[in-house]
Amino acid sequence: MKTVYFILFFVLLQSKILAQVSNQIHQEAIVIDTHGDILFNQIKSGIDIGKLQSKGNFDLIRAKDGGLDVQFFSIWCDETGGYALANQEIDSLYSLIKRYPEKIQLVNTATDLEASVKQQKMAAMIGVEGGHMIENNLDYIDNLAKRGMTYLTLTWNNSTPWASSAAEETSGKVKQKNARLNAFGKQVVKRLNKLGVMVDLSHVGERTFYDAIAASSKPVIVSHSCAYSLNPVPRNLKDAQIKAVGKNGGVICINFYSGFLDSTFSKKQKLFLAKYDQELRILSDKYGRSSAIDTLISNHRADAEAIRPPIALVVKHINHIVKLIGVDHVGLGADFDGAESFPLGMNSVADYPKITSELIKNGYSESEIKKILGGNVIRLIRENKGS
């Protein structure tokens, strides 16, 4: 019996030590999330993300609790929106900063980012998710950069006249001969390089991906994607693409969406939705399909929880990239507020310390963890901006 008590005591002691070490590393690190779809929802619902929210994945209170130092706010709209809506979302971020200047400030360089963290303010950065928002106008790139755009995702799921998306390349909507970054698209990349705005290759088609890397004189970012070999969906990167990012000096930031992490999630989700098909139809007629799924998940929490993958899968994708191209080329881009399901325990930005604990369990050193949590992205910003 004494042996059992000793083993139990030893396990508890080890767990306590691990928690202390994890907490210290997390607090010392600069934690960066390169993709959060917060602003579109803020405009749509009118919520104040400066205050604690009962819904969604982000607010400034939970960000502080989770030790999140830097948030890239995604400027997003589907193909029906454009430049005006992009500016409206940026306006909403400016308004948030004006209301809470003691909690958050806009930054545009690595130096300003680090200064903001020292002041214990969240550093807000801007990523424009979808080249359709520049409306084929290079001057709009200049204007968005002046307003704080730090990266431009060349496409969203929709292609543009100058770049093909992963969704449309794989669906066949874009014919193979047109799957590319054309001459104007290469001008876009060159303009981004000149302005120090990172070229983001999440969402782009495979042909556009390689064309953009070839056209870019600076290292690229992949702001919210995972590894194709672990889950073969069009939004994830194949091993050859991962190696190309490594050769380019870029950084791949892991998406937390269950459907990109877990190869079994899609089938499980279809069964879940089929189980409540009649209710989903009624909700979809009332709220639209996306909101209907969120409501369905809320109404049947136990069933929805049962199909969520473990946090370990986030680190499994990190491990895969590290094995291929090294620890200097991976970061975190959660896609919070942009998807309906995330790993068990990852309910909001308050849960970021759990990623640090999982990295420790996987044998990463303190310096490696700090690179993954944010150091690699800081290096990338500096190499694009020059400061």
Give yes or no: residues 360 and 373 share one domain: yes
Give yes or no: residues 226 and 284 share one domain: no
Predicted confidence at residue 203, as pLDDT, reads 98
Give yes or no: residues 303 and 204 share one domain: no
The answer to whether residues 338 and 74 touch, using CB atoms and an 8 Å cutoff, is yes
Q: Is the pLDDT of residue 225 over 90?
A: yes
Give yes or no: residues 169 and 43 share one domain: yes
Give yes or no: residues 25 and 147 share one domain: yes
Q: How many domains would you assign to the chain?
A: 2
With cut-offs at 50, 70 and 90, classify the pLDDT of residue 41: confident
CA nearest neighbour of 71 among 113, 40, 29: 113
Q: Say what the pTM is.
A: 0.94
For residue 186, how many other CB atoms are within 10 A of its CB?
18
Give yes or no: residues 113 and 128 share one domain: yes
Alpha-carbon span 75 to 140, nearest angstrom: 14
With cut-offs at 50, 70 and 90, classify the pLDDT of residue 347: very high
Give yes or no: residues 251 and 381 share one domain: yes
**Which is it for strands 32-36 and 70-76: parallel, antiparallel or unpaired?**
parallel
- Digit-coded pLDDT (tens) for 43-95: 888 899 999 999 899 999 999 999 999 999 999 999 999 999 999 999 999 99
Residue 355 lies in a domain: yes
The CATH number that applies at residue 318 is: 3.20.20.140
Give yes or no: residues 258 and 296 share one domain: no
Residue 95 lies in a domain: yes
Predicted confidence at residue 287, as pLDDT, reads 84
Q: How large a percentage of the chain has pLDDT more than 90?
A: 88
Q: Is the pLDDT of residue 365 over 70?
A: yes
Give yes or no: residues 27 and 52 share one domain: yes
Give the domain extent around 303: 265-308
Residue 203 lies in a domain: yes
Q: Is the pLDDT of residue 101 over 70?
A: yes
Give yes or no: residues 298 and 195 share one domain: no
Give yes or no: residues 271 and 366 share one domain: no
Packing angle of the helix pair 138-146, 183-195 (nearest 10 deg): 20
CA nearest neighbour of 254 among 276, 277, 225, 295: 225
Alpha-carbon span 292 to 44, nearest angstrom: 16
- Digit-coded pLDDT (tens) for 252-276: 999 999 999 999 999 999 999 999 9
Q: Is the pLDDT of residue 348 over 90?
A: yes
Predicted confidence at residue 94, as pLDDT, reads 97
The answer to whether residues 374 and 27 touch, using CB atoms and an 8 Å cutoff, is no
Domain boundary among 251, 281, 308: 308
Give yes or no: residues 88 and 224 share one domain: yes
- Digit-coded pLDDT (tens) for 294-320: 899 999 999 999 999 999 999 999 999
With cut-offs at 50, 70 and 90, classify the pLDDT of residue 178: confident
Q: What is the dihedral of CA 251, 342, 292, 228, to 10 degrees?
A: 50
Residue 11 lies in a domain: no
